[in-house]
Each structure stands twice: as C-alpha cells, then as structure tokens.
Amino acid sequence: MARSSQTDLAVLAVLSVAPMSGYAVREAIRDQLGHFWSESFGQIYPTLSSLTADGLVSKHPGERSGSSVFVLTPAGRERLLDLLRAPEVTSPPRNGLMMRVFFGHTLGPDAVAALIEEARQQALTQLATFDAIAAMMADEDDHREHQPYWALTVSAGRHSTLGALAWCDEALEALTTFPR
C-alpha cells in the first residue's frame, strides 16, 4: 500500500543512487537534499516497509546484526520515473516573516527591522552552507553523472538566498523612513 507518494519519491530517489539502510536514507535526505527537502524518521521506516511489500525495493541483510540494506528493484526504478514525471505537488505557502512584515504597523518599525536583520544574518549563514554542500558534492568521486545536476540545485539555493539578501538590505533601508 503506497503511503504519501511524496515520501515514496524521496526514498526511491535516494536509493536510485546507491543501496543503503533506512538510517542512511535519512542521512542522505538531510545532508544532500536538506536545503529543499525533508523527511522524518517516522515516515522513512514505514515507507520502506510498504515499498518492500509492493516489490519496489528489496530488503537484504546488512553488515551489522539487525540492519538491512534496501535495493531498488526494476519495478521501483519504473515507479521512480513515473513519480519524477508526475506533476509537482506544491505545498501551500506559509511565510512567518512576511506575515510579520505585512502587519508591521502593529508590531512597529523597530521590531520589524530586528526581524529582517535576523533574516539577513541567516541568509549570510546559508550562503556559507551552500559552499560547504558544494564542496562535499565535488568531493564525491562516485556518481559523477549526477554531479552537474546536483550543482544546479546548489546554484538555485544560492540565487534564492541572494534574492532574499537583496530584499533585506532594501527593506532595512526603507524602514528608516517609516513613521515611528
């Protein structure tokens, strides 16, 4: 029984790169896809069970006692392709910072400026994170064929963060002229 096709997609996708344990699947999602995707433990294990039951992955004993290695089956690869070709599922937007800016009159210009300054710092930190991710990916000597695509996602993160940064600067400047 297929649960969320979104989680199916993520799990099948990471297993398409290499067979691994459930624990490793979570780490791969966190470390490699972390800036645009997330899955919790509570989703990954049940998903692996159902994918195994559906014959989309096969379960093999791992090196440690009690551990398993999950391998994508041909049917699993086909399902992955179907999911990748299916329309993207978009989640409804919820931006807490924008909510606070929109009602900035209630909060007051100084409080809003403080929030934006915080966002600005976060953006700067993120830029450094992207460098780290890029370096980590460039390190990987396996999976060379994936590398250019992976670089594109890092670049997307960078562009997005740069846009946010530009807005922060502009907004902070504009806020100085707001009535207080």
Partner DNA sequence: ACAAACATGTAACCAGTTACATGATTCA
Partner DNA sequence: TGAATCATGTAACTGGTTACATGTTTGT
- Residue 175 contacts residue 112 (beta carbons within 8 Å): yes
* R_g of the chain computed on alpha carbons: 21
The one segment of 18-26, 56-64, 83-91, 123-131 that binds a copy of itself by CB under 8 A = 83-91
Handedness of CA 140, 8, 25, 132 (dihedral sign): positive
Q: Is 71 in the site for a copy of itself (CB under 8 A)?
A: no
Helix, strand, coil shares of the chain, percent, nearest 5, are: 70, 5, 25
Residues numbered 57 to 116 that lie near DNA (CB under 7 A) are 62-68, 92, 94
Q: Is 43 in the site for a copy of itself (CB under 8 A)?
A: no
Instruction: Work out how close the CB of 50 gets to a copy of itself at its nearest, in angstroms, rounded to a whole number.
Output: 20
Instruction: Work out how close the CB of 136 gets to DNA at its nearest, in angstroms, rounded to a whole number.
Output: 15
Q: Is 123 in the site for a copy of itself (CB under 8 A)?
A: no
Handedness of CA 65, 15, 38, 40 (dihedral sign): negative
Selected binder of a copy of itself within 21, 23, 35, 117 (CB under 8 A):
35
How many residues at the interface with a copy of itself, by CB under 8 A? 59
Q: Is 46 in the site for DNA (CB under 7 A)?
A: yes
- Residue 180 contacts residue 149 (beta carbons within 8 Å): no
Selected binder of a copy of itself within 102, 131, 136, 138 (CB under 8 A):
102
Is 87 in a helix, a strand, or coil?
Answer: coil
- Residue 33 contacts residue 10 (beta carbons within 8 Å): yes
Residue 84 interacts with which of a copy of itself, DNA, none, CB < 5 to 8 Å by class? a copy of itself
Question: What is the distance in angstroms between the CA of the first residue and the CA of the last residue of the chain?
Answer: 58
Selected binder of a copy of itself within 21, 50, 68, 160 (CB under 8 A):
160
Which residues make up the interface to DNA (CB under 7 A)?
3-4, 6-7, 21-24, 27, 38-43, 45-46, 48-49, 62-68, 92, 94
